[in-house]
Structure 1
Amino acid sequence: MPRPARWRSALSAARDEATLAVRLYNDPGQSRAFEGFVVHMHLAWLYLLQARFARDGIDFRYRRSDDPRRFVTVDGEHKRWELVRCAEERWTDLNDPVRRNLEFFVALRNRIEHRHASTDRNLGLSVSGHAQAHLLNFEDELVATFGTRYSLAGILRFPVFVGTFTTDGEQALLNLRQKLPADLKRFIADYHSGLPEETAADSRFELRLRVVMELAARDSNALSMQFTRWDDMTDEERVAVSEMGRRGHTVIREQRRAVVGHGLLRPKEAERKIAAAIPYRFTSHHFLRAWQIKGIRPEGGSGHPERTDERYCLYDALGRGYGYTEAWVVHLIKECSSEEGFFAATGRVAELKAT
């Protein structure tokens, strides 16, 4: 019986590592679950790409610079490409969202191992969208390269959890995110600020899910959870989904009556959200300067207070004040997550928060 191709053992190891990574991530009893996910997904991706190269006859050993016919050795073993080098070979476009997601986790792994082992839970929450994309990208690469018989879909299940399905759960998760160390917040913000908009917004770099809970009729042939891909929606459905906002939180359908100012934020509320999401000190003065520079509303005492940029701000004639939209909060969080953007948005030099 012929020996199996070498790439098959690498492929099997890749699937095992990915399965273990997800099991650790979803285990509430693991004190360093997210770190385990990052480390084992790193190995899963490395073995998967090496399996692809081995199958396709691509030599992924480092050659000596002084003699390209010979290979670099370490402790008697050939030195093989690390994950970043493999990603460069697989995705030649520097800003490919899959490659940038991979490189993000490589850099994050180095920080976790060397300085931040104690921030596991908070960090896992802050980059959960990146982690989900990290796994789905792996599944896509696995199936596209080796076929559906190797898919992880029959092994992994949708986890049962509370999280943002309840109001209290959502607030608890937000409180954890705010405790992330300033230098990790800065790392995440700096990494994102260097990305083109189309890469940062791509679900292969960061997956942001919006779940609408509704009662459905019992169907013995249907799955308990149904997901609809963006590409499969009509233009009208895409518009309706987009109108739900960009927060990526769960939306529970319920009956609502008309409420004046529904969905708008008071200045202090908007200011607190921005301050919690960026690594720099953000005050009411920064908030004031931001709307003045952007010109989203008139100055106080204007004869036409209603002349606002309705994407970001609306005038309340009854209360004689202004309400700010989630879109304005999202805009400022994005702008103020880097030193350059902070100065452009507020006209003030960014100051790191006290740790």
Structure 2
Amino acid sequence: MTIEQGGWAVPVRKRGNKLERWEIALIKAMIADGRWPNDQDILAYFTRPTRSINHRAIAEIRTGKKHASVKAVAADDLEGFLSSWPEIDAETGLSLRGDELLIKAREAMVAAVHTFNSAGLTFRAELFIVTAVIAWTYLLHAWFKREGIDYRHTTNKNGQKVVSKTPSGADKFWELGQCLKEPRCPVEQGAKDNLTFLLELRHEIEHRSTNRIDDAVSAKLQACCINFNDAIKKLFGAQYALERRLPIALQFVTFSPDQRAILKKANGLPRNVEIMMDGFEGRLTPEQQVDPRYAFRVFMVGRTANRAPSADLAVEIVPPGSEVAEKFNIALKEVEKKKYLPSEIVNQMKAEGWDRFTMDSHTKLWKRLDAKNSAKGYGTVAVGKTWCWYETWLNRVREECEQHPQRYRSTVAPPLPN
């Protein structure tokens, strides 16, 4: 929940704001020290923009009404805290210790974008996904912590919940997938779909050779960035947005449609990644697929500006329904995946020289591979009850022919002489 204040969306402070155990131990030491007889003076050390604490909390510690079991820190630890106070992030004013999760979330997303935009890197999408997942995990942990939601894994032992531990004895916290499943998770559905896609893709490509997948998933990566920035502003405040940290990325070249087609053909996706992506999107509704929070797409049109300030804009957002948007309406339409009838698959294979590949060959192949299983993403029911195949299935059929040339071609080229 937010309120508008001076044009800024400000999150409403929650009653669940409370002191952490390490802070209580410091407060007890300050009370025992005697230099701070006024509760309000002590409170000043522990109030920060992301969390409001009532001065009553200090009085309850002083009188022993609450937190009696917490021991005060040693005098040296208190002096160490005072000498380094305030430990804050210079840009945001966030406490390095108290707001650690939120700071880590911001820095991880900045690192993800900088990594993807770095010149000379080959596997940029993979690096972005791993780092962005870390950023989102920290962001949701920070929100769960503020809302008083326990985000630790637990097990049931003898009817009681027990916190799960790592081999070294630390609490095990939720991974991003578990955070998204929490009913109170504040992430909107389109952004959830985007993150679920990236998680599935990460599971599919980890520890495997992927070729380059940057072009194929760029719309999802862009949406992930925008969703993160929107979420951090909505949940914690506009002052923590990343727009000022991340300028527009510049590049040296642009590609014509023909050039991009050649590049995509040369750097085709691995079949397992194609199947995963098609299968995932096959489970989404049409509304989910076009949600910009799932995949953010823009088009850029070269133009000559009449006014100098307009000419300086590298990217201009065109409002829906405007004259420019209507003029380029065709460019904004969603491109539907090309579909093939079974006869078109067979004819294509024959045109490529696989003259023994027949309709019977095709039927036996899709049955053997269970290719009409929608989870595999090879095709879909199009008009009426007619099954149509996607490009991924055409590639799989081509792969089958290339693996068994003696089966699908009348004449096989003799091996080259030694």
Which range, TM-score by smaller chain?
0.5 to 0.7
Correspondence 1:208 to 2:284? no
Check if 1:283 corresponds to 2:331. Answer: no
Q: Superposed, which structure 2 residues align to 1:202-351 within 5 Å?
A: 202-220=291-309, 224-228=313-317, 232-234=319-321, 238-246=325-333, 274=338, 283=345, 285=347, 338-341=378-381, 344-345=385-386
Tell me which residue corresponds to 1:106: 199
Structure-2 change in CA distance of 1:346 and 1:85 (3 Å)? closer
Query: Does residue 191 of structure 2 align to residue 191 of structure 1?
Result: no
Equivalent in the alignment of 2:40: none
Instruction: Please give the secondary structure, in 2, of the residue aligned with 1:209.
Output: coil
1:243 is paired with a residue whose SS is helix
Tell me which residue corresponds to 1:130.
220
Pick aligned residue for 2:182 from 89, 95, 110: 89
Distance 1:51 1:174 in 2: 40
The Cα offsets for residues 289-338 of structure 1, whole Å up to 9 and x where unpaired, read as xxxxxxxxxxxxxxxxxxxxxxxxxxxxxxxxxxxxxxxxxxxxxxx954
* TM-score normalised by structure 2 residue count: 0.57
- 1:2-21 Cα offsets, whole Å, 9 max, x none, are 38486611111111111111
Unaligned runs of 5+ in 1: 249-269, 287-335
Shift of 1:37: 0.5
Distance verdict in 2 for CA 1:68–1:223, change over 3 Å: farther
Report whether the alignment pairs 1:72 with 2:112. no
**Per the alignment, in what secondary structure is the counterpart of residue 143 of structure 1?**
helix
Q: Distance in 2 between matches of 1:60 and 1:44?
A: 16
Measure the CA separation in 1 of the matches of 2:207 and 2:110: 25
Code of the residue aligned with 1:99 in structure 2: it is: K
Say whether the 8 Å CA contact 2:300–2:315 is kept in structure 1: no
1:94, CA displacement in angstroms? 11
| Residues 38 and 163 of structure 1: CA distance in aligned 2, closer, same or farther (over 3 Å) | farther
What are the Cα deviations for residues 17-65 of structure 1, in whole angstroms up to 9, with x where unaligned? 1111111111231232221111100101101111111122211112222
Distance 1:142 1:281, change over 3 A: farther
Task: Mark the CA change 1:87 to 1:36 in structure 2 (over 3 Å): closer, same or farther.
Answer: same
- Tell me if structure 2 keeps the 8 A contact 1:14–1:47: yes
Contact 2:112 2:127 in 1 (8 A): yes
Percent identical among aligned pairs is 25
Retained in 2: the 8 A contact 1:274–1:282? no
Q: Is the 8 A contact 1:199 1:205 kept in 2?
A: yes
Deviations 1:142-197 (A, max 9, x none): 111111211111111211125655456434443345x1111211111010001011
Q: Structure 1, residues 176-229: CA drift from partner, whole Å, max 9, x if none?
A: 45x111121111101000101110110110112111221224545986234326
1:347–1:354 Cα change, 3 Å: closer
The TM-score, its normalising length taken from structure 1, stands at 0.66
The residue identity in structure 1 corresponding to 2:191 is: V
Cα gap change, 1:34/1:5 in structure 2, threshold over 3 Å: closer, same or farther? closer
Residue in 1 that maps onto 2:79 = none
Write the distance in 1 (CA, Å) between the matches of 2:317 and 2:125.
28
Select 1:180's aligned residue among 241, 245, 269: 269
Given that residues 380 and 388 in structure 2 are in contact (C-alpha distance below 8 angstroms), is that contact kept between their aligned partners in structure 1? no
In structure 2, C-alpha distance between the alignment counterparts of 1:99 and 1:347, rounded to whole Å: 29
Task: Indicate the RMSD between aligned Cα atoms, in angstroms.
Answer: 3.7
* 136-145 or 208-217: bigger deviation: 208-217
Preserved CA contact (<8 Å) 2:381 2:388 = no
Q: Distance in 2 between matches of 1:345 and 1:48?
A: 45
Structure 1 residues 146 and 222, CA gap change in structure 2 (3 angstroms): farther
Partners of 1:158 and 1:94 lie apart in 2 by 25
Which residue identity is paired with 1:129? Answer: A
What is residue 112 of structure 2 aligned with on the other side? 21
Matched letter for residue 40 of structure 1: T
Q: Distance between the aligned counterparts of 2:216 and 2:253, measured in 1?
A: 13
Structure 2: gaps of 5 or more residues? 1-44, 47-85, 87-94, 349-375, 400-418
| Whole-angstrom distance in 1 between the partners of 2:187 and 2:243 | 29
